[in-house]
Amino acid sequence: MKPKPAPAAAGAPDPYFPTSGDHRYRVHRYELVVDYRPGPNRLAGSARLTAVADIALAEFALDLAEFRIGRVLVDGKAARYTHRGGKLRVRPAKALAAGAAFTVEVHYTGNPRPVRSPWGGLGWEELSEGALVASQPVGAPSWFPCNDRPADKASYQLSVTTPSPFTVVASGRLLTRTTRASSTTWVYEQSAPTSPYLVTVSIGPYRPVPLTERPAAPQAGYVPQTGFVPERLAADFARDFARQPAMMSYFGEAFGPYPFGEYAVVVADEELDVPVEAQGVATFGTNHLGGGWERERLIAHELAHQWFGNSVSIADWRHIWLNEGFAKYAEWLWSEHAGGPAAAVHAAAAHRLLAGLPQDLRLADPGRRLMFDDRLYQRGGLAVHALRRALGDEAFFAMLRDWTAVHRHGVVGTEDLLAHAARYTAVPLGPLFEAWLHRPELPPLPG
């Protein structure tokens, strides 16, 4: 199938986060320049956004935490603004016409801190040595002004200056690294369309650990894979992540070609509750080293998100099961492929677990309170397994590869998957999706 372009980000506000983002315009590109001093946790930044107005705009809004604003320019001219409650509201000197391209430039300084949420702090997190960013779902404004909607995907250039002993890892390809006096500037380019919450930075005393060797000649399917870890953990990381290149190869066969140019893994020198995916990067804690299936499945899960969630992104947070259900099922597929328990065995265990828990979750619209509930992950994996059983393996994997190709770097919702999957069978799938996605009661175990 021929890939189609990513759909526009226009639409209604996100029902789970109605105050996040501004659906009246779309950002095409961010150019971020950040100077960060880890000791005092001080950030000075400038952001230049290139955007298009979907309707005529006398004013528009950006999401940005409580930084001090230096100046705001629209198309190079000073603009009036107000900044409170995490919203930077901008009034250009001249109203923007519908369809007009425009640029907005924001200069800001302050002490970055996580955005408060029901799930704890989100976004920029200060570490004992350095910092990291984990923004899902609405933490991006903790460190840069943005249109914080998962559907508003843009390209990014990110320049980070920090003291020279630190390494900077960010979404995208490293373009340059320049040292002047005691500071080093790292410039990364992410050309693939990226949701704001999937832009990340890690700053720390990391050592690069290559997981792949660059071939002498161009090789189809080759993806550079590098770990960035504290020196004392380099050997542990090389051992525990040794099978990641094999995962990458298998997922490329099962899901279609890896959608980005490279893949980096950061191990922060602290314990983290869960690993966190970002565009082309995953961040783990020291507690995620140590080997064993529970840790290996997390490696598979975060890698699978590069296809499901990062390249193929959700239109709004109601559809989070599309990210987490497919990533959960990728764990089970890897186990099956690598000689461990088959996906059906994992599915049976998940079904037993869910059977003993409350039956009040609707997968296709779980509500904000339950969007990160573990039941969503398990039931999402089971729904994908049910679809595999209904289609059969040949049609199922063809459906997956076409899904990631048709919607590569695009935006989807649950109904898009239903329409797509229906093309691979003559059997009506409506009853299956109704039972698994829209009703809270747990259906029987598939197959």
Taking residue 357's Cβ as centre, other Cβ atoms within 10 Å add up to 14
Asked whether this chain's domains 1-122+130-190 and 313-438 adopt the same fold, the reply is no
Helix (H, G, I), strand (E, B) or coil at 239: helix
Which superfamily, per CATH, for 1-122+130-190? tricorn interacting facor f3 domain (2.60.40.1730)
Q: Which residues contact 444 (CB under 8 A, 6 or more apart)?
A: none
Catalytic positions, written as ranges: 302, 377
Q: Which residues contact 236 (CB under 8 A, 6 or more apart)?
A: 289, 290
Binding residues for Zn(2+): 301, 305, 324
Task: Walk along the chain (447 residues) and give the pLDDT tens digit of each residue.
Answer: 333 333 434 568 999 999 999 999 999 999 999 999 999 999 999 999 999 999 999 999 999 999 999 999 999 999 999 999 999 999 999 999 999 999 999 999 999 999 999 999 999 999 999 999 999 999 999 999 999 999 999 999 999 999 999 999 999 999 999 999 999 999 999 999 999 999 999 999 999 999 998 877 778 789 999 999 999 999 999 999 999 999 999 999 999 999 999 999 999 999 999 999 999 999 999 999 998 999 999 999 999 999 999 999 999 999 999 999 999 999 999 999 999 999 999 999 999 999 999 999 999 999 999 999 999 999 999 999 999 999 999 999 999 999 999 999 999 999 999 999 999 999 999 999 999 999 999 999 998
Q: What is the DSSP letter of 129?
A: T
**Residue located via tokens 């380099």:** 234
Residues found in the chain: 447
Binding residues: 301, 305, 324
> Top-level CATH class of 313-438?
mainly alpha
How far is residue 412 CA from its own chain's centroid?
14
Would you say 396 and 425 are in contact if contact means Cβ atoms under 8 Å apart? no
Say what the pTM is: 0.95
Alpha-carbon span 108 to 119, nearest angstrom: 27
Angle (CA) 414-152-145 rounded to 5° is 140
- In Å, what is the CA distance from 331 to each residue of 178, 253, 343, 397, 419? 39, 15, 8, 15, 25
Domain boundaries defined on the chain: 1-122+130-190, 313-438
**Residue located via tokens 């099922």:** 329
The 8 Å CB, 24+ separation contacts for 393-397 are: 395/424, 395/425, 396/424, 397/254
Would you say 300 and 288 are in contact if contact means Cβ atoms under 8 Å apart? no
Helix (H, G, I), strand (E, B) or coil at 219: coil
In DSSP terms, which residues pair with 283 in a beta bridge? 266, 276
Would you say 131 and 203 are in contact if contact means Cβ atoms under 8 Å apart? yes
Q: Are strands 313-314 and 411-412 parallel, antiparallel or unpaired?
A: parallel
Here the tokens at position 168 are 């900077």
